[in-house]
Amino acid sequence: MRRQNILRTFLFVVFLSIGAAALSGSILCDDLLQYYHNKQVLKAARESLKRLKTLNTDYDALLERLQTDPNVIKRIAPAALGTEPADANAIYPKATSEQLAAARRVLTEDANYKIAEPETADWLIRCSKTPRRIILFLAGAFLILISFIWFGPAKRTATEQ
């Protein structure tokens, strides 16, 4: 008799837990999809923030160098503004507009990346479709009913009482 109760309890727990998991999975499917999407957006935002922090440190170092060495401005200004250098013996490279456009594209390529699609599990994508969610919901409800009906507490007979 004791073995029968242990087996009955074990089967009750197994059927009830599988049914509850299927039922809650079908109900919370949209929330799980939103969770994975938000996780991916957060990852992209952190990468963007990290890139902005490195740019800030680079600009801070450049500003500090400009404040400490006034000759840097004199050397950079003709190349940046496109004017002729004050020193007649200095040679500055001339960049064509195509070269500048190519350099600008390379530098802004990282900043203009698109957010990748969220990396969701395949089972979650399959379960998110409406007919499958309904089937999953009904299967979970039936498993819970089966566990309560067939594996619930046994009725005692008159002889056992």
Tens of pLDDT, residues 37-72: 899 889 989 998 998 899 899 889 888 888 888 787
**In-domain check, residue 10:** yes
User: What pLDDT score does 156 carry?
Assistant: 66
Average pLDDT value for residue range 101-129: 73
What is the pLDDT averaged over residues 141-149? 93
Residue 69 lies in a domain: yes
Q: Is residue 158 part of a domain?
A: no
- Is 134 a member of any domain? yes
Is residue 160 included in any domain, yes or no? no
Quote the pLDDT of residue 16.
94
| pLDDT of the residue at 24 | 94
Residue of 152 and 35 predicted with greater confidence: 35
Query: pLDDT band for position 107 (50/70/90)?
Result: confident
What is the pLDDT, as a whole number, of residue 113?
Answer: 57
SS (H, E, C) the chain: CHHHHHHHHHHHHHHHHHHHHHHHHHHCHHHHHHHHHHHHHHHHHHHHHHHHHHHHHHHHHHHHHHHHCCHHHHHHHHHHHCCCCCCCCCCCCCCCHHHHHHHHHHHHHCCCCCCCCCCCCHHHHHHCCHHHHHHHHHHHHHHHHHHHHHCCCCCCCCCCC
In this prediction, residues 99-114 reach a mean pLDDT of: 71
Which range of residues forms the domain containing residue 17? Answer: 2-86+94-150
The pLDDT tens digits for 15-32 are 999 999 999 999 999 999
pTM of structure: 0.57
Domain count, the chain: 1
**Percent over 90 (pLDDT), the chain:** 31
* Domain contains 156: no
Q: Is residue 161 part of a domain?
A: no
